[in-house]
Amino acid sequence: MQLNWTTKKFDNLTPHELYAIMQLRNEVFVLEQNCIYQDADGKDLHAWHYMGWNEYGQLMAYTRLLPEGVSYDVPSIGRVVTHADVRRLGAGKELMSKSIETCYHLFGASDIKIGAQLYLKSFYESFGFMQTGNVYLEDGIEHIEMLLKFKK
């Protein structure tokens, strides 16, 4: 599946794009994962929104890219999500690879930190992320902090 990738700051998102982002995040994080949590946490306002659209204009993949100081002392990637229709087709791997590249482009040569759901540990390790802390519960789901060290 070929996706059209775009990156926008919050203030440049159209109402349609913002709605699509919130809809996809709610479909996966709230409904599929049966997790009631505060998605609108104020960080979107400071984020770059990385989006993968299909040929019909439907959002299929998304991450939120945050500069240092918003979530962590280094840039971070969060709200990593793919639509059910593109899972197991390589969209998640493409999404993470492109999100990492985009972080380096936007924020420079820096480490990148994530708060990952524990069951996805090996997925993130495949990109070079390493676990940096103990397992913790966030909204009833086991998570770990992981760090991708910038290779000089």
Domain count, the chain: 1
pLDDT in tens, 124-152: 999 999 999 899 988 888 999 999 999 87
What does the pLDDT read at residue 40? 85
What does the pLDDT read at residue 35? 75
Confirm whether 121 is domain-assigned: no
| Mean local confidence (pLDDT), 56-62 | 97
Asked if pLDDT for residue 36 goes beyond 90, the answer is no
Domain range for residue 9? Answer: 4-109
Confirm whether 136 is domain-assigned: no
Residue 148, SS3? strand
Confirm whether 146 is domain-assigned: no
Confirm whether 13 is domain-assigned: yes
Confirm whether 23 is domain-assigned: yes
Residue 83, SS3? coil
Q: What is the pTM of this model?
A: 0.94
Give the CATH number of the domain where residue 85 resides: 3.40.630.30
The CA-based angle 95-152-107, given to 5 degrees, is 50
